Amino acid sequence: MIDGILDDIAIVQHYALIDLGVNGIAALQEASTKTHYQEIIDAIHTKWPDCKIYLTKPWMRDADVYADNLAGWIDDLITDNSGYCYVADDERGWLKGSDNGVTMTIDGVHYNAVGYAEKINQMVTVFGY
């Protein structure tokens, strides 16, 4: 499926962001999650070998343990794909904040206007602008 999506993109990409949601985070299994992430990483890297691929570490309210597990798996993927795969932002910090996501989300999962603005700030910083 990812290959078909990438086939439609004609412009060479220098940066890619993989920011997968956290719906169903409690049901994620390490092996299958890493396999699916790796398929996306491989497809991007195959199409654009010089593209820097960034992975967001997602968070959702009341799922800190699961978000921590996923962050560790993402770290493993970054290590396995060193040289072109990097940490983007870590929502466990900025999105959760000190109020368990009240400021940045509408429901502990989805960004509100403040959250979207901060996501942009996070990406601008990650991409060096």
CB atoms within 10 A of CB 86: 14
Residue 1 has pLDDT above 80, yes or no: no
pTM: 0.93
Please check whether residue 53 lies inside any domain of the structure.
yes
74 is in which domain, residue-wise? 16-126
Please check whether residue 110 lies inside any domain of the structure.
yes
3-state class of 125 per DSSP?
helix
Please check whether residue 98 lies inside any domain of the structure.
yes
Please check whether residue 1 lies inside any domain of the structure.
no
For helices 64-80 and 30-47, give the axis angle rounded to 10 degrees.
40
CB atoms within 10 A of CB 47: 16
Based on the structure, what is the number of domains in the chain? 1
Please check whether residue 49 lies inside any domain of the structure.
yes
pLDDT tens digits, one per residue of 57-106: 999 999 999 999 999 999 999 999 999 999 999 999 999 999 999 999 99
Find the CATH number of the domain harbouring 82.
Answer: 3.40.50.1110
Residue 29 has pLDDT above 80, yes or no: yes
